[in-house]
Amino acid sequence: MLQSSTLRLLLPSLSPLTTPSLSYRFFCKPRTSHSLFTVLAFSSSSRPRRNAPFRHLGRRNNSSTRETRDRGKDKPMEKVDSVGFNKKRAEGRDSSGLPKKNLQLKVRKLNPVNTISYVQILGTGMDTQDTSPSVLLFFDNQRFIFNAGEGLQRFCTEHKIKLSKIDHIFLSRVCSETAGGLPGLLLTLAGMGEEGMTVNIWGPSDLKYLIDAMGSFIPNAAMVHTRSFGPISSTDESTILGQNKFSDPIVLVDNEVVKISAIILQPNHSEGPPLVTSENQSQERMSHSPDYLGSSNTLKQPNGKPGDMSVLYICELPEIKGKFDPEKAKAFGLKPGPKYRELQLGNPVRSDMQNILVHPSDVMDPSVPGPIVLLVDCPTESHLETLLSVQSLSNYYGDSMGNNVSCIIHLSPASVISCSNYQKWMKKFGSTQHIIAGHERKNIEIPILKSSARIAARLNYLCPQFFPAPGFWSLSNRSSSISDSSASREDSILEHCQTISAENLLKFTLRPYAHLGLDRSLVPDTVGTSETIEELLSQIPEVVEAAQHVRQLCLQSSQSKDDIPVVDRKILVEEPWLCADGVPSCLEDIRRDDLEIVLLGTGSSQPSKYRNVSSIYVNLFSKGGLLLDCGEGTLGQLKRRYGVDGADDAVRSLRCIWISHIHADHHTGLARILALRRDLLKGVPHEPVLVVGPRQLKRYLDAYQRLENLDMQFLDCRHTTIASLEAYEHDEPDKNDKEMTAPKIDSTLFAEGSRMQSYFKRPGSPTNKNVVYPILKKLKRVMQEAGLESLISLPVVHCPQAFGVVLKAAERVNSAGKVIPGWKMVYSGDTRPCPELVEASRGATVLIHEATFEDALLEEAISRNHSTTKEAVEVGDSANAYRIVLTHFSQRYPKIPVFDETHMHKTCIAFDMMSINIADLPVLPRVVPYLKLLFRDEMIVDESDDVADVASTAF
Say if CB 79 and CB 85 are below 8 A apart: no
Encode 707-718: b = buried (16+ Cβ within 10 Å), e = exposed. bbebbbebbbbb
Say if CB 783 and CB 805 are below 8 A apart: no
Cα–Cα dist 99/104, whole Å:
15
Q: At what angle do helices 543-559 and 36-43 cross, to 10 degrees?
A: 90
CB count in 10 Å sphere of residue 592: 12
Say if CB 521 and CB 446 are below 8 A apart: no
Q: Which of 856, 863, 602 is nearest to 10 (CA)?
A: 863
Cα–Cα dist 59/292, whole Å:
49
Give just the sign of the alpha carbon dihedral 879, 885, 889, 895.
positive
| DSSP state at residue 103 | -
Cα–Cα dist 407/140, whole Å:
20
User: What is each CA distance from 768 to 153, 571, 659, 772, in whole angstroms?
Assistant: 40, 46, 22, 6
Q: At what angle do helices 529-539 and 450-462 cross, to 10 degrees?
A: 70
Say if CB 181 and CB 150 are below 8 A apart: yes
Cα–Cα dist 796/830, whole Å:
8
Cα–Cα dist 647/640, whole Å:
8
The CA radius of gyration of the chain, in Å to the nearest whole number, is 30
Cα–Cα dist 802/837, whole Å:
12
Vertex 145: Cα angle to 139 and 148 (nearest 5)? 160
Say if CB 274 and CB 260 are below 8 A apart: no
Cα–Cα dist 605/663, whole Å:
9
Tell me if residue 470 falls in helix, strand or coil.
coil
The β-bridge partners of 601 are 615
End-to-end CA distance of the chain: 19
Q: Which of 927, 833, 943 is nearest to 890 (CA)?
A: 943
Cα–Cα dist 136/144, whole Å:
6
The per-residue pLDDT for range 874-884, each reduced to its tens digit, is 999 999 999 99
Phi, psi torsion values for 342, nearest 5 degrees: -60, -40
User: What is each CA distance from 106 to 195, 315, 430, 854, in whole angstroms?
Assistant: 10, 21, 39, 38
Tell me if residue 577 falls in helix, strand or coil.
coil
User: What is each CA distance from 910 to 322, 813, 955, in whole angstroms?
Assistant: 61, 32, 20
Cα 875 → chain centroid: 29
pLDDT value of residue 687: 94
Cα–Cα dist 469/460, whole Å:
6
Task: Say how many CA atoms lie within 13 Å of 80 toward its Cβ.
Answer: 26
Q: Concatenated DSSP letters for 359-396?
A: PHHHHBPPPBPPPEEEEE---SHHHHHHHHT-GGGGGG
Amino acid code (one letter) for 768 = N
pLDDT value of residue 34: 41
Cα–Cα dist 379/381, whole Å:
7
pLDDT value of residue 141: 84
Cα 61 → chain centroid: 37
Q: Which of 123, 118, 142, 150 is nearest to 134 (CA)?
A: 123
Cα–Cα dist 886/100, whole Å:
37
pLDDT value of residue 238: 28
Q: At what angle do helices 695-704 and 670-680 cross, to 10 degrees?
A: 50
| 68 Cβ neighbours under 8 A, 6+ residues apart | 82, 83, 84, 858, 859, 862
Q: Which of 365, 366, 363, 364 is nearest to 330 (CA)?
A: 363
| DSSP state at residue 436 | E
Amino acid code (one letter) for 64 = S
| DSSP state at residue 780 | H
Amino acid code (one letter) for 571 = I
Is-cis flag, bond preceding 922, omega within 30? Answer: no
Q: At what angle do helices 634-652 and 670-680 cross, to 10 degrees?
A: 30
Amino acid code (one letter) for 846 = V
pLDDT value of residue 559: 64
Extended strands (E) in 725-811? 739-740, 767-768, 788-795, 803-809
Amino acid code (one letter) for 843 = G
| 663 Cβ neighbours under 8 A, 6+ residues apart | 217, 799, 830, 954, 955
Q: Which of 289, 236, 228 is nearest to 264 (CA)?
A: 228
Q: Biggest alpha carbon distance in the chain?
A: 116
Sheet holding 846-850, edge to edge: 788-795, 803-809, 824-827, 846-850, 883-887, 907-909
Say if CB 888 and CB 602 are below 8 A apart: yes
Tell me if residue 929 falls in helix, strand or coil.
helix
pLDDT value of residue 480: 37
Sheet holding 250-254, edge to edge: 250-254, 259-265, 310-316, 372-376, 405-410, 433-436, 498-501
Cα–Cα dist 857/432, whole Å:
57
Cα–Cα dist 521/525, whole Å:
10
The per-residue pLDDT for range 656-713, each reduced to its tens digit, is 999 999 999 999 999 999 999 999 999 999 999 999 999 989 988 988 888 889 999 9
pLDDT value of residue 345: 79
| 7 Cβ neighbours under 8 A, 6+ residues apart | 17, 947, 950, 951
Tell me if residue 84 falls in helix, strand or coil.
coil
Say if CB 932 and CB 43 are below 8 A apart: yes
Q: Which of 679, 669, 658, 663 is nearest to 704 (CA)?
A: 669
Cα–Cα dist 917/923, whole Å:
11
Tell me if residue 727 falls in helix, strand or coil.
helix
Mean pLDDT, consecutive 10-residue stretches, the chain (955 aa), reads: 30 32 30 38 38 31 37 38 76 61 62 83 74 89 92 87 86 91 82 69 86 74 76 42 57 92 83 38 33 38 66 92 85 88 86 88 83 94 92 82 82 89 92 85 68 90 91 48 42 64 91 91 83 90 92 76 39 43 84 95 88 96 97 93 91 97 93 94 94 93 88 95 85 55 49 50 58 92 96 94 96 87 96 94 96 92 93 94 94 78 81 94 88 72 40 43
Cα–Cα dist 70/91, whole Å:
25
Count of H-run helices and E-run strands, the chain? 30, 38
Cα–Cα dist 500/695, whole Å:
47
